[in-house]
Structure 1
Amino acid sequence: MLRPSHAFTTLLALAVPATSFAASSPQSFKGEYTVSFLGLSIAKSTFSSRYENGVYSIDGSVSAAGLAKLFDDTRGTISSRGTISGQKMVPQAFRADYTSGKKASLVDIRFGNGDVTSTKVVPAPEKRDPKSWVPLGAGDLKSVLDPMAATVIYADSLDKVCGRTVKFYDGEMRANLALTYASKGSISVPGYKGDTVTCRMNFEPVAGYRKGRKALEFLKNRSRMMVTFARLGKSSVYAPIHATVGTQIGPLTISARRFEAVD
């Protein structure tokens, strides 16, 4: 199994995409997502985001739903703050607070010029075995994105959304997400109707993880991960509107129930 902070922040990053608009006037967005496993709803999420004067802010929430509530009543909130420089997200702060039953946890990451300056994880990680642990190197936390900012793609067109590698850090693990083109299509959900592009996503752990962990090995070598991006209005910003992630016990699907701009 993945450490809870890994699973929660990664799931929330996909289920609550950061949606910021590169425009001179303030722009806001809101969305609702459903996370399902083998066709059964297991989580729901909402988000709101705002872009103004080169600064972005995103706030989201997620909670267990359906049968999942009987086994693991997890719920939490997430926030990401930062600036946009050219076509690049530059995070300043990321925080995820969540509870599973009566156990409370948090991940708090601070940045300076896009580099990680501090990390706080509660409960603190257990002592690592140096023989099996891949430690973070001096350069691993430079020019990285938090799990939320990592979901945003700036591109001139649908054709240029894929074909890139995203570097992200979740508070413990540094990993790369390589996006390669898969297909084009269209989608219609409340608040949005238009063209989409689907990228295949390959996961590569870089540091901050235990060697031989079965869940990570599966994600790296066997999982089929597909992410569909939609354009936000007339901007050059693309955000996930649908995603599927293969796991050891079956596919996980994240679908937008609402995806819209608000005044």
Structure 2
Amino acid sequence: MLSFVLPGIRPARQPGARLAAIAAMIAVLPAAGSAAAGDSKVIAQYEVTLAGIEIGKAAFVVDINANTFTTVSNAKVTGVAQIVAEGKGRAGARGTLVKDKLQPGSFALTADSDSRHLEIQFGFDKAGAVKNLQVTPTPQPRPDRLEVTDAHRRNVLDPMSATLFAVPGTGDVIGPEACNRVLPIFDGVARYDLTLSYARQDTVAAKGFSGTAVVCQVAFKAVAGHRLGRKDIEYMEANNDISVWLVPVAGSRVLVPFRISVATKVGTCVIEAKSFSTQHTEARAAVPAEGGTAR
């Protein structure tokens, strides 16, 4: 379901690895664009556990202003998982936000494990199609792998842009509209859909934050790029125990994951914020110089 439990790190190829790309990535890049309308920001630290045992940590920063967004992440294997695997990764994305609709612009990921270095980069053209795709090392062709076509790379989200949930309209952002959607995701190698549906509201708390989250149930569907007959893919497609808790970014109609829970064959993988800060800075009006006018 998720390609990585941490960005680019696949310990024991655990099923559930691909949804963590939607939640465990994070970091610090300044947002571009006009600051005139004010800026919204999230800074968070997450812990990743499997069957209650810590296996990783991640940091997450999101910057949003009037018409652009930036989200970046870094993560690493920690705890007892270091006995069997070493790894760390960093991912980031930029894009535009117009009328409460996200349009991704670029995505990059770098990850290192004991025996593998992975780099993925791509952008999007004005029509929303992936361009300039670079994957190092190049995936080896296999006769049982379902080919990703150009059609599969149109009107998609990258894994980092998919962590932002824009809610249109003027009503409460903590409601069914936050959940009821399909996320068509391309991660540079595979194409898959995440179908979210509203489950309930819940109270969440971490250092620096407490509030109400909307809880979405998630269903995974492999579309292309995967090997046919893979048991872990079949498991995730039949998995009815995947949920994400979303909380609002202050001063915006965008929500981000606070907690993700994914059932796997060896226990539940949970990615949960341990510290979480969201703030909004109002734009400052231009002050005219003496004897002049503001422009």
- Give the TM-score, by structure 1 length: 0.90
CA distance in 2, matches of 1:244, 1:97: 24
Contact 2:261–2:268, Cα closer than 8 Å, also in 1: yes
- In the TM superposition, what is the alpha-carbon distance from 1:89 to its structure 2 partner? 1.4
Q: Are 1:158 and 2:174 matched, yes or no?
A: yes
Q: Secondary structure at the match of 2:103?
A: strand
1:23 is displaced (CA, Å) by 8.8
Distance 1:17 1:103 in 2: 21
Check the 8 A contact 1:189/1:259 in 2, yes or no.
Answer: yes
**Using the alignment, how far apart are the partners of 2:157 and 2:201 within structure 1?**
26
Q: Which runs of 5+ in 1 are unaligned?
A: none
What's the counterpart of residue 195 of structure 2? 178
Shift of 1:199: 0.8
For 1:30 and 1:3, the matched residues in 2 are separated by: 24
Contact 1:167 / 1:174 at 8 angstroms: preserved in 2?
A: yes
Q: CA deviation at 1:261?
A: 2.4
Paired residues, number: 260
Instruction: Give the aligned partner of residue 119 of structure 1.
Output: 133
Partner of 1:145: 157
In 1: Cα distance, 2:258 partner to 2:252 partner: 16
The code of the aligned residue for 1:103 comes to R
Answer 1 or 2: which has greater strand percent: 1
2:29 corresponds to 1:11: no
CA deviation profile, 1:37-61 (whole Å, cap 9, x unmatched)? 0111100011222223412112211
Write the letter of the residue equivalent to 2:114. G
Amino acid at match of 2:23: L
Instruction: Please tell me whether the aligned partners of residues 23 and 235 of structure 1 are also in contact (alpha carbons under 8 angstroms).
Output: no
SS of the residue 1:243 aligns to:
strand
Aligned mates of 1:23, 1:36 — CA distance in 2: 40
Q: Residues 9, 199 of structure 1: CA spacing in aligned structure 2 closer, same or farther, 3 A cutoff?
A: closer
- Aligned mates of 1:149, 1:64 — CA distance in 2: 23
Q: Distance in 1 between matches of 2:107 and 2:9?
A: 14
Identical-residue share of aligned pairs (%): 26
Give ranges in structure 2 of 5+ residues lacking alignment: 11-16, 282-295
1:35: Cα distance to partner? Answer: 0.4
CA contact (8 A) 1:242 1:253 kept: yes
What's the RMSD between the two structures over aligned residues?
2.5
Larger Rg: 2
Residue in 1 that maps onto 2:286: none
Distance 1:57 1:9 in 2: 21
1:169 maps to what in 2? 186
- Stretch of structure 1 that moved more, 221-230 or 145-154: 221-230
Q: Cα gap change, 1:2/1:146 in structure 2, threshold over 3 Å: closer, same or farther? A: closer
